[in-house]
Structure formats: C-alpha cells, structure tokens
C-alpha cells in the first residue's frame, strides 16, 4: 500500500492511499475534526463515491476497521458480559456547557451513570482515569463509558454546543 500525505493550508491534511489492489482512496482531515473520504474509479481520475463524517463518527469507524469494536470470535461473550455497555470517544465542542468545569462539579456519575475514563487534551497530553478536579475544555477528547442511552444523553446535554444545561 502506498500512502502520500500533504498539507491543505487553512483546511487540514490530505492522505492519498493506493492499495495493493490498485484502488485509490483520498482522506481529508479538516482542522475542525471532520473527515471526508473519496473512493476513485479504476483510472484514479474521478471520484465515484464519497462520505463526510464528524470526528466522533470517524473514530467509531476507525475502531471497527482496527478490530477494536467487532471481533467475530468473541463478540457474543463480550456482549453477554457487558450487555448495554458503550465506550465512546467525543470531542468537547466549543461553547459546550462543560467548558472550564471540573468533572466533580458536573456530577457525571450520579446524574448520568457515566464514567469519563480518559481525557486527551489538544496538546496531546493524556489523562487516564481523570479525577474530580480535572478541568474539561473545548477541544478535549473524552473517552466515556456507560449505558448507550446515558452516554448519548451526556453528549447531547453537556458536551455539545447548545447543550440542554
């Protein structure tokens, strides 16, 4: 496989991929976290399909492709042991209600029954099992675990711009 990376000033970064099967795909990662993927026809001149993904969607697909989410041999056992458990990555949006607040002040576990298991800061500093005094900022990537509907609720109410709180 051949991968060529190039900067797109003011936009982000572009990766051009040619597979061993001579298929071409272009991935554009925007500065705001969005991803675009383009699949090209056999002569590599014209895009025949494309998809645009939010940052969180791209990370979920990456987990699937990397085998982190779907493992055919053991999936049934995992689902039975952890039925309903969701682990999701979400980038805190600008103007989200959680900006500049501590984990403890948000009562995340009590209100949502969700655990923040890691924070990846914009400067790429990682905090695993962050404590109640950890401050959440816009652009932080949070790794959340809990029941799927509760994880979605905390994303909608606290982590997204225009949240309900």
Please write down the HEC assignment for all residues of 2-13.
Answer: EEEEEEECCCEE
pTM over 0.85: no
pLDDT at res. 157: 93
For the stretch 31-83, pLDDT in tens is 888 899 999 987 878 888 889 998 888 888 887 776 655 444 444 444 445 66
Alpha helices in 9-161 (DSSP H): 55-65, 75-81, 103-106, 108-112, 148-154
pLDDT given for residue 31 in this prediction: 86
Q: What is the pLDDT of residue 75?
A: 44
| Opening angle at CA 61, ends 60 and 66, nearest 5 | 100
pLDDT attached to residue 44: 77
């Amino acid at each position: 496989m051949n991968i060529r990376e190039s900067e797109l000033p003011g936009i982000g970064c572009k990766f051009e991929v040619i597979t061993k099967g001579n298929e071409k795909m272009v991935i554009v990662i925007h500065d705001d976290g969005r991803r675009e993927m383009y699949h090209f026809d056999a002569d590599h001149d014209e895009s025949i399909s494309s998809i645009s993904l939010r940052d969180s969607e791209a990370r979920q697909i990456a987990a699937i492709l990397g085998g982190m989410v779907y493992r055919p041999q053991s999936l049934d056992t995992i689902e039975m042991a952890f039925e309903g458990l969701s682990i999701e990555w979400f980038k805190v949006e600008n103007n989200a209600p959680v900006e500049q607040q501590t984990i403890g002040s948000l009562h995340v576990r009590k209100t949502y029954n969700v655990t923040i298991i890691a924070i990846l800061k914009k400067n790429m500093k990682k905090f695993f099992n962050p404590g109640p005094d950890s401050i959440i900022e816009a652009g932080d990537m949070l790794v959340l675990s809990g029941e799927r509907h509760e994880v979605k609720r905390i994303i909608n109410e606290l982590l997204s711009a225009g949240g309900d709180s």
